[in-house]
Every structure is written in structure tokens, then in C-alpha cells.
């Protein structure tokens, strides 16, 4: 495949796979509660994940190691177990939220209650992972994920006030309800900078046998793909800012998500929104399950690979099977996907440095990267944003809980 086509495909994959329950609901909540004021949190989060994704692709292309593989080797079993456990715990909640998102889309489409969908969603997700290859999953789901472009169409049709939108790019202090403002900012950051995404990317680079000739493509895909992905999040925020903010409406549960597109695009808008939610969350379900199975298998040195038959990597395949069952229980017991999303996004933000700091150490290690180690800018951007996310989370989450969302 020639490079231009590969770049195009990479960008399509990034854009189609960018939105999921976390980015959709946090951006919608930000727009509903604070208009355009929190656009900066999407910008910062997107900047951080673009850098992280570029780094993880570069890391695997140069070192032929995945991130968990190198972490275990470089830091040893005991130190490696900390990010392993934290990531598994937090991402399991995120996985529950994504599966809830698929179930929510199915409920919106059929009026059949959400918990009924737990088993079908789990079985279909598991079946796709069990039978499909890595590139089929990545390209298939992300291709379908382009339906999320409906948010961009909706946002333009909603005729936003572009100058206020641009004002929101720069961080400002809250005009009202400061605790809630910072809490929503933290959720947006947690939703944008999902650790599973760059772990997934590093394993993908190994599955697709990247070498240093992929570095330029990797950089282009990370920069362009993530920027367009971030714009989709901004589009969701814009829709909420235009349609919900002026009348003081909020996104309280997943039924409220239909208020986002339907008013500008009518009945087709409703169906496109439902499809967007379902496909985006299904894509994330597959990526998170795979990503965590990679994490465990690589950390313990098991045989792994989405292109192998399950019989050839039994522990790897059973790891994602168990994760899907465990996360499916949240849906089965009727846990509200939006509540689960909020908790898991805040926890993601709070725990960002746990995964990011050891990764940055690796990215500056000549043993792995030779002449391709990180520059100062990359180090500074990722370090500052992830530390900021953690500090904001530690401060704002208790305040939000005390204030009851006031």
C-alpha cells in the first residue's frame, strides 16, 4: 500500500474511532452547563493524546517493543504491577460505560430497556473479537464510525457564534459554579486522554510490523487524525452550547443525548445520533477489551495477537472474554452509563500520571529509541497536561460530590 493511502486510512481510522461515550457525554455536559467556555479543555486533551499517540507509534516502530512489554522489562515486576492494576481497574469501569453506551443506543432505537441488551452486547462484542483480525476490527469499526461526522454537520447547521467559540479556546476562570466547572473540565480531559488508546496504538504498530520507515506517516496520522477527532468533540460541545445552554437544560441521563442533533436535523438526525452512539461505543468496547488483554499478555510474556486463532493464544483470548463479562455486569444490573462515564472519566484523569510517567521515562531512553527519543516540547506538553488533570481531579471530584453537582 502506498504511503499516501496509508496516511489517509490512518486518519480515517483516527477520526472514525475518536468519539466514544466519554468524549460525547463530557463534551455535551460542558456545552450545556458552560456554553463555549470549556472548549479549551478539549483542545488541551486532544493535544495531549495526539502527542501520546505519536510517541507510542514511534516507540514501537523504533524499539519493536510494545509499551507494557518494555515497562515490565525496564521497571521490573513489582513496579510494573502498579500501572497494570490501576489501568485494569479504571479501564474496566470505562469498558462498562462503553458497553452501556451501546445498550443505550439500542434502547433509544427500540424502546427495549437497557439491561435487556447486556447479554446481546457482550456476546456480539466478544464474537467480533473472537473471530476478526486486528485490521478488520480497526478499519471496519472506524469506517462505520465516520457516521459520527453527523455531529460536525449538526454543529455547522446550528449556526454557532464563532467568535465566542474561539474565545473558549483559551482557558478562563469560571463565571459561575466553580466546583462543577473544574469537575467537567477534568471529565473532558479524562475522556480525551484515554490511556487505552495509546496502549492500543503501540500494540497495533507491532501487529502491523512497523519499522522506522513509518515514523513520518505516524506523525502525520497522529497530528491530523487526532485534530479532526478533537474537532468532532468540539462539535458535540457546540451543539449542546447552542441547543441546551440558553434554556438551562442539562444532560442528566442518556435519553437527553437525543436533544443534541434532533432539533437541527429532525428525524434523520435522531437515527444518525443513535447510530453514532452505538457504533462509537461498540468500537471503543472492542478497543478497550483488546487493549487490556494486550496489557496483561505482554506484561506476563504470553503469546498474543488478534490475528491468531483463540486456540493459539488461549490466555489472551480468555482475558478479553472475562473483561467483557465483568464489564457487562454493570449493564445487566442497570448501572446508568452516564453516571459510570462520569466516575470513570474523573478516575482516568486522576490516574493519568500513573501510566504516563513511566511511559515518558521509556520515551527518553536511548536503549529503546536510539536517536528518536522525545524532544523537550513533547515531554513538557504530556507531563504538564497529565499532572494538571490529576491535580484538578483530586481537588474537584470531592467538591463536586459535596456540592451535588451544584
Partner 1 sequence: MIRLIAEVLDKQVVDANGDNAGRVDGMILEVRDGAPPRVVAIEVSPITFLARFSRRLAMWYAKRDARLGHGRGTPYRIPWESIQRSKLSVVIDRAADDTPINALEDWLRANIVDRLPGSGS
| Sites for partner 1 among residues 79-108 (CB under 8 A) | 80-81
CB of 159 or CB of 303, closer to partner 1: 303
Q: Given candidates 112, 156, 216, 314, which one binds partner 1 under the rule CB under 8 A?
A: 314
Number of residues that bind partner 1 (CB under 8 A): 26
Q: Given candidates 161, 209, 315, 361, which one binds partner 1 under the rule CB under 8 A?
A: 315
Q: Given candidates 14, 15, 44, 65, which one binds partner 1 under the rule CB under 8 A?
A: 65
- Alpha-helix residue ranges (DSSP H) falling in 159-194: 162-167, 178-192
- In whole angstroms, the minimum distance from the beta carbon of 361 to partner 1 comes to 14
Confirm or reject binding of residue 58 to partner 1 (CB under 8 A): no
Let me know: does 222 contact 53? Beta carbons within 8 Å.
yes
For residues 138 and 307, give the distance between their C-alpha atoms in angstroms, rounded to a whole number. Answer: 12
Confirm or reject binding of residue 176 to partner 1 (CB under 8 A): no
Q: How far, rounded to the nearest angstrom, does the alpha carbon of residue 331 sit from its chain's CA centroid?
A: 19
Confirm or reject binding of residue 72 to partner 1 (CB under 8 A): yes
Nearest CA to 44 out of 144, 167, 189, 180 is that of: 189
Confirm or reject binding of residue 309 to partner 1 (CB under 8 A): yes
Angle subtended at Cα 100 by Cα 114 and Cα 85, rounded to the nearest 5 degrees = 145
Q: Where are the beta strands (DSSP E) in 121-251?
A: none
Q: Given candidates 3, 4, 77, 112, which one binds partner 1 under the rule CB under 8 A?
A: 77
Let me know: does 18 contact 230? Beta carbons within 8 Å.
yes
For residues 6 and 221, give the distance between their C-alpha atoms in angstroms, rounded to a whole number. Answer: 9
- In whole angstroms, the minimum distance from the beta carbon of 115 to partner 1 comes to 24
Confirm or reject binding of residue 130 to partner 1 (CB under 8 A): yes
CB of 126 or CB of 228, closer to partner 1: 126
Phi first, then psi: give them for residue 210, nearest 5 degrees.
Answer: -70, 150
CB of 100 or CB of 299, closer to partner 1: 299
CB of 227 or CB of 321, closer to partner 1: 321
Let me know: does 400 contact 393? Beta carbons within 8 Å.
no
**237 φ/ψ sector (left φ>0, alpha ψ -120 to 50, else beta):** alpha
Confirm or reject binding of residue 134 to partner 1 (CB under 8 A): no
Let me know: does 202 contact 53? Beta carbons within 8 Å.
no
- In whole angstroms, the minimum distance from the beta carbon of 88 to partner 1 comes to 16
Confirm or reject binding of residue 312 to partner 1 (CB under 8 A): yes
CB of 272 or CB of 286, closer to partner 1: 286
Nearest CA to 49 out of 148, 183, 190, 151 is that of: 190
Choose the binding region for partner 1 from 61-69, 151-159, 187-195, 341-349 (rule: CB under 8 A).
Answer: 61-69
- In whole angstroms, the minimum distance from the beta carbon of 286 to partner 1 comes to 16
Confirm or reject binding of residue 162 to partner 1 (CB under 8 A): no
For residues 388 and 39, give the distance between their C-alpha atoms in angstroms, rounded to a whole number. Answer: 16
- In whole angstroms, the minimum distance from the beta carbon of 75 to partner 1 comes to 8
CB of 30 or CB of 71, closer to partner 1: 71
CB of 253 or CB of 312, closer to partner 1: 312
What is the full DSSP assignment across 23-86? Answer: HHHHHHHHHHHHTTTTHHHHHHHHHHHHHHHHHHHHHHHHHS--HHHHHHHHHHHHHHHHHHHH
Residue owning grid cell 515497562: 71
Choose the binding region for partner 1 from 62-70, 83-91, 177-185, 279-287 (rule: CB under 8 A).
Answer: 62-70
CB of 65 or CB of 259, closer to partner 1: 65
Using CB under 8 A, list all residues that contact partner 1. Answer: 64-65, 69, 72-73, 76-78, 80-81, 127, 130-131, 300-304, 309-312, 314-315, 317-318
Amino acid at each position: 500500500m502506498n504511503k499516501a493511502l496509508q496516511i489517509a486510512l490512518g486518519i480515517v481510522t483516527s477520526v472514525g474511532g475518536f468519539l466514544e461515550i466519554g468524549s460525547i457525554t463530557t463534551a455535551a455536559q460542558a456545552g450545556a452547563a458552560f456554553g463555549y467556555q470549556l472548549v479549551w479543555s478539549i483542545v488541551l486533551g486532544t493535544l495531549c493524546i495526539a502527542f501520546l499517540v505519536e510517541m507510542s507509534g514511534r516507540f514501537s516502530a523504533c524499539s519493536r517493543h510494545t509499551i507494557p512489554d518494555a515497562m515490565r522489562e525496564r521497571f521490573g515486576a513489582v513496579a510494573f504491577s502498579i500501572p497494570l492494576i490501576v489501568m485494569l481497574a479504571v479501564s474496566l469501569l470505562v469498558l462498562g460505560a462503553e458497553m452501556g453506551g451501546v445498550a443505550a443506543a439500542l434502547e433509544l432505537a427500540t424502546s427495549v430497556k437497557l439491561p435487556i441488551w447486556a447479554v446481546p452486547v457482550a456476546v456480539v462484542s466478544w464474537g467480533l473479537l473472537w473471530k476478526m483480525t486486528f485490521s478488520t476490527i480497526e478499519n471496519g469499526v472506524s469506517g462505520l464510525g465516520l457516521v459520527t461526522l453527523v455531529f460536525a454537520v449538526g454543529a455547522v447547521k446550528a449556526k454557532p457564534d464563532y467568535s465566542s467559540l474561539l474565545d473558549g479556546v483559551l482557558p478562563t476562570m469560571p463565571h459561575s459554579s466553580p466546583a462543577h466547572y473544574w469537575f467537567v473540565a477534568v471529565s473532558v480531559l479524562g475522556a480525551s486522554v484515554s490511556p487505552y488508546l495509546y496502549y492500543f496504538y503501540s500494540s497495533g504498530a507491532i501487529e502491523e510490523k512497523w519499522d522506522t520507515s513509518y515514523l513520518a506517516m505516524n506523525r502525520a496520522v497522529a497530528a491530523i487524525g487526532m485534530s479532526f477527532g478533537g474537532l468532532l468533540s468540539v462539535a458535540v460541545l457546540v451543539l449542546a452550547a447552542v441547543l441546551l445552554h440558553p434554556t438551562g437544560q442539562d444532560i442528566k441521563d442518556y435519553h437527553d443525548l437525543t436533544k443534541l442533533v434532533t432539533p437541527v436535523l429532525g428525524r434523520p438526525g435522531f437515527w444518525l445520533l443513535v447510530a453514532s452512539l452505538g457504533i462509537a461505543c461498540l468500537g471503543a468496547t472492542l478497543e478497550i477489551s483488546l487493549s487490556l488483554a494486550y496489557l496483561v499478555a505482554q506484561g506476563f510474556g504470553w503469546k498474543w495477537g488478534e490475528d491468531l486463532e483463540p486456540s493459539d493464544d488461549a490466555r489472551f483470548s480468555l482475558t478479553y472474554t472475562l473483561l467483557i463479562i465483568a464489564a457487562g455486569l454493570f449493564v445487566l444490573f442497570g448501572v446508568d452509563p452516564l453516571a459510570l462515564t462520569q466516575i470513570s472519566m474523573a478516575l482516568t484523569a486522576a490516574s493519568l500520571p500513573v501510566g504516563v510517567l513511566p511511559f515518558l521515562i521509556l520515551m527518553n531512553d536511548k536503549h529503546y529509541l536510539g536517536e528518536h527519543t522525545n524532544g523537550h516540547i513533547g515531554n513538557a506538553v504530556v507531563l504538564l497536561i497529565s499532572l494538571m488533570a490529576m491535580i484538578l481531579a483530586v481537588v474537584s471530584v470531592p467538591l463536586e460530590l459535596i456540592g451535588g453537582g451544584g
